[in-house]
Amino acid sequence: MKVYLAKFQKGNGVAYKIGHTKYFNSINRFQDPQYDVFDEISVLHDINIQHENAVTARLVARAVEATLLCIYPKNFRLEEHFQTEQNYFDKLSGITEMFVLTEQQTEDMLVELFRRVATKLYWVMKESTNV
């Protein structure tokens, strides 16, 4: 399982999304044509979560995602942010996890947080398998 940090661009607008996926390459999560409404989608970082029990791996991924979403909750309306007509993004999967950075935040800070979480989680998972 992976918890990913994705960046979405449309025109001059940028938004971010935190989520989890079963795909080894997190970007594959966005290969569906529904995401063609964006000019570019990139994965800035992901957190690899491995466990011999798939249910445990999914649970940990969901817990990490939920925790990160508490720090970076959805804080905008897509149509206003990307300056599109109303309901332009209707039925787009995963939009409830998208957010924009505040003036006090930078993309580098966001990526660094993901790196720190990935490192800490790696050691926690490693220790838990040695118990």
Residue ranges per structural domain of the chain: 2-129
pLDDT tens sequence across 4-43? 999 999 999 999 999 999 999 999 999 999 999 999 999 9
Please report, as a single letter, which amino acid is at residue 26.
S
The secondary structure of residue 17, as a DSSP letter, is E
Please report, as a single letter, which amino acid is at residue 113.
L
| 39 or 78, higher pLDDT | 39
Phi, psi of 83 (to 5 degrees): 55, 60
| Dihedral sign, Cα of residue 36, residue 91, residue 93, residue 72 | positive
pTM of the model: 0.91
3-state SS assignment for residue 7: strand
